[in-house]
Amino acid sequence: MKSVDDYLAAERDSFEADLCELLRIPSVSADSHHRPDMQQAAEWVANQFRGLNLATEVISTSGHPIVYAESPPVPGQPTVLVYGHYDVQPPDPLDQWISPPFEPTVRDGNVYARGATDDKGQMLTHVKSAEAWLKTVGKLPIQLKFLIEGEEEVSSQSLNAWLPKNAEKLACDVVVISDTSQFAPGQPAITYGLRGIAYYELRLTGPKQDLHSGTFGGSVMNPAIALARLLSALIDDEGRILIPGFYDDVVPLTQEEREQFAQLNFDEARFMRQLGVSDLHGEAGYTTLERRWARPTFDVNGLTSGYQGEGAKTVLPAKASAKFSFRLVPKQQPEKITAALEAYLKQRCPPGIELELIDMHGAPGVVVPLDSPYVAAARSAIEHGFGIAPVMIREGGSIPIVNMFREVLGVDTLLLGWGLDDDNTHSPNEKFCLADFHRGIKSSAKLWETLAVK
Ligand code: BES
Ligand code: ZN
């Protein structure tokens, strides 16, 4: 009988071909034009599980389908819930892609496509590791339950509603997610903290229609100016958010954790080169890793008002709007932030401007304990796959459902990321290193063994 690792070595090409097939499906959850593609991607994932003879379901929701599959229980052994997502972020701006976002292309050992690392490639590592066990040993050493959803990139609303009603079905000992990053190329990591998020759209309306800025300018409030003022009132020059009470529930960094971050030897010069910036900016008194991983932040995600076409147009726009978000840290509650934000904006909104604040989505941040046997099992599995022990890190992104796993299922999550910070997630030219894809599969295959009780 072939060993699991031999199977992985023999199937590298077929794994890559399957990944490319999935990457060709433009499953953009935010854009309703892609509804049929969402269904197709869900079916594609389900067919992978059906091909492994796992009990598989494609669950319809009012949003995008949830794919669920499970292998048989293994008496005396733990059950692991693998979570991932088949949806991707919009590929815009399209003209900045070297190869089209849904035509996966391999260059320099990386596969380029929207969703390559976030999360199709990473999610597939666990499907392929299960395949390796089932096609060699014929069974898995532990029970696996797979929960692969299509709304992670838009805050997991359908799953949020479905999960509590299906807690028994999802009963498990620990959750495994690969939708995060290594600390640096060749330095894998276990992520023990993620930030939360609170996302809004602010719409300001002034006059009933666009006006001549010469005839009317200076006599009525310009909504674009009002918007600029309101947004700039949210944060000061030192990077502190100015909404009263915003920091009330923030868990401060401990001295010990600050020292641990500092020991990671983060290369700021390389980071600046990677981003193409001449300087770094953030909350005063904190290092770059602290700012990114463990401090709340404010970002404008989109701004719209007035004339955007070619040439100059002297117009006083009737409307102005912005999409913006806060990244939150553990204990900050999105609902509380929304209430404080709304009061703050309304109080500052100038007369003559109508304000509408739309709460688009929110999720709290998480930290997971590092002193569990599951973390120890993950550490040795990653060492097997990558040839080097992982470091423990926090990260700045959000995976909204992780809180539910703790609150509803009562279990912790292992965040085992195979991506890299320069994978261009949510940006043009997203990529995934194929060597990391295979190292991820190898780590995952080992994990099912190391999680098993001897
Ligand atoms: N894979 C990311 C989460 C992530 C990003 C973890 C960076 C660690 C580092 C995930 O797919 C994602 O992008 N989530 C969204 C969630 C949001 C839309 C609610 C995010 O963080 O913006
Ligand atoms: Zn993402």
Q: What is the pLDDT of residues 290-321, one digit of tens each?
A: 999 999 999 999 999 999 999 999 999 999 99
What is the whole-number distance in angstroms between the Cα of residue 426 and the centre of ligand 2? 6
Q: How far apart are CA 400 and CA 157, in angstroms?
A: 9
Question: Is a pLDDT exceeding 80 seen at residue 85?
Answer: yes
**Residue 107: how many other CB atoms lie within 10 Å:** 11
List residues bridging with 57 in a β-sheet. 68
Question: Is a pLDDT exceeding 80 seen at residue 1?
Answer: no
Q: Give the pLDDT score at 2.
A: 87
Q: Is the CB of 399 under 6 A from ligand 1?
A: yes
Mean pLDDT of 188-210: 98
Q: Give the pLDDT score at 318.
A: 98
Q: Is the CB of 118 under 6 A from ligand 1?
A: yes
What is the whole-number distance in angstroms between the Cα of residue 72 and the centre of ligand 2? 31
400 CA: nearest ligand 1 atom: 19
Q: What percent of the chain is modeled with pLDDT above 70?
A: 100
Give the pLDDT band (50/70/90) at residue 141.
very high
What is the rounded (10 degree) CA torsion for 162, 164, 166, 171? 130
Fold of 196-250+296-363: Alpha-Beta Plaits (3.30.70)
Residue 323, helix vs strand vs coil: strand
Mean pLDDT of 51-64: 98
Q: Give the pLDDT score at 143.
A: 98
Amino acid (one-letter) located at 285? G
Residues 450 and 382 sit within 8 Å (Cβ to Cβ): no
Q: Give the pLDDT score at 386.
A: 98
What is the whole-number distance in angstroms between the Cα of residue 180 and the centre of ligand 2? 9
* Residues 6 or more apart in contact with residue 21 via CB below 8 angstroms: 44
pLDDT tens string 328-384? 999 999 999 999 999 999 999 999 999 999 999 999 999 999 999 999 999 999 999
Q: Output the furthest CA–CA distance in the chain (Å, rounded).
A: 84
Q: Does domain 2-193+366-450 have CATH number 3.40.630.10?
A: yes
The verdict on pTM exceeding 0.85 is yes
pLDDT tens string 101-137? 999 999 999 999 999 999 999 999 999 999 999 999 9
Residue 65, helix vs strand vs coil: coil
Give the pLDDT band (50/70/90) at residue 454.
confident
Q: Give the pLDDT score at 84.
A: 98
Active site residues: 87, 152
Q: Using alpha carbons, select from 118, 130, 137, 104 the residue that is nearest to residue 20.
A: 104
396 CA: nearest ligand 1 atom: 9
Q: How far apart are CA 345 and CA 206, in angstroms?
A: 16
Per-domain boundaries in the chain: 2-193+366-450, 196-250+296-363
Residues 214 and 296 sit within 8 Å (Cβ to Cβ): no
List residues bridging with 322 in a β-sheet. 202, 303
Q: Using alpha carbons, select from 155, 160, 337 the residue that is nearest to residue 242.
A: 337
Q: Is the CB of 151 under 6 A from ligand 1?
A: no
**Left, alpha or beta for 416 (phi > 0: left; psi -120 to 50: alpha)?**
beta
Residue 414, helix vs strand vs coil: strand
Q: Is the CB of 119 under 6 A from ligand 1?
A: yes
Q: Give the pLDDT score at 73.
A: 98
Residue indicated by tokens 């089209």: 100
* Residues 6 or more apart in contact with residue 343 via CB below 8 angstroms: none
Residue nearest to atom 20 of ligand 1 (CA): 398
List residues bridging with 320 in a β-sheet. 204, 305
- Residue 179 CA: which ligand is closest? 1
Q: How far apart are CA 428 and CA 180, in angstroms?
A: 18
Q: Is the CB of 87 under 6 A from ligand 1?
A: no
- Residue 198 CA: which ligand is closest? 1
Q: How far apart are CA 43 and CA 283, in angstroms?
A: 45
Q: Is the CB of 70 under 6 A from ligand 1?
A: no
Question: Is a pLDDT exceeding 90 seen at residue 447?
Answer: yes
